[in-house]
Amino acid sequence: MKYLLTLLAGLLAGALLTATALGAIAARERYPRSVMVVMQANLTALQRGLRERDCGLPESRHHFGQLVALGAEIPRAFAARERDSVEFRRARELFEAALDAADTAPPADCAALNRAITAVGQSCEACHARFR
């Protein structure tokens, strides 16, 4: 009986540890994807804004700022790719450069905003084409 209880306790502990480990792995995979999902929300908001009368210009600084902050998370969120791939780092730097341009010289009119959004969107796609 004592052995049976010990065995059951061991099995229970094992199951709990497995669940914890699986949960940790799932959470680790969720993080990079979550960064991307929020970036997508900001890019979509910018693109949707272009169809409005003011082309979303008043809100655009907020969304570019969000993209800059989220972009700064990429090296942490995709640590293995950052470490192992020069091309990944290069794609990330090009993305940052596109955002930097929009951030340091904020688009003043709809045409400039359209160009900036297109450039950022293309730099997302450039990385996805190779790494997603």
90 lies in the site for ligand HEC, by CB under 6 A: no
* C-alpha 7, offset from chain centre: 44
Amino acid making up residue 116: A
Q: Binding to ligand HEC by residue 46, rule CB under 6 A?
A: no
Shortest distance, position 107 Cβ to ligand HEC, whole Å: 16
Listed ranges 14-22, 30-38, 45-53, 55-63: which one lies at the site for ligand HEC (CB under 6 A):
30-38
- Give the residue, chosen from 55, 60, 64, 92, that forms a contact with ligand HEC under the rule CB under 6 A: 92
55: left (phi over 0), alpha (psi -120 to 50) or beta: left
> Which one of the spans 6-14, 57-65, 106-114, 117-125 is the region binding ligand HEC (CB under 6 A)?
117-125
* Shortest Å, Cβ 113 to ligand HEC: 15
Q: Which residues bind ligand HEC (CB under 6 A)?
A: 32-33, 36-37, 39-40, 43, 67, 74, 78, 88, 91-92, 95, 120, 123-124, 127-128, 131-132
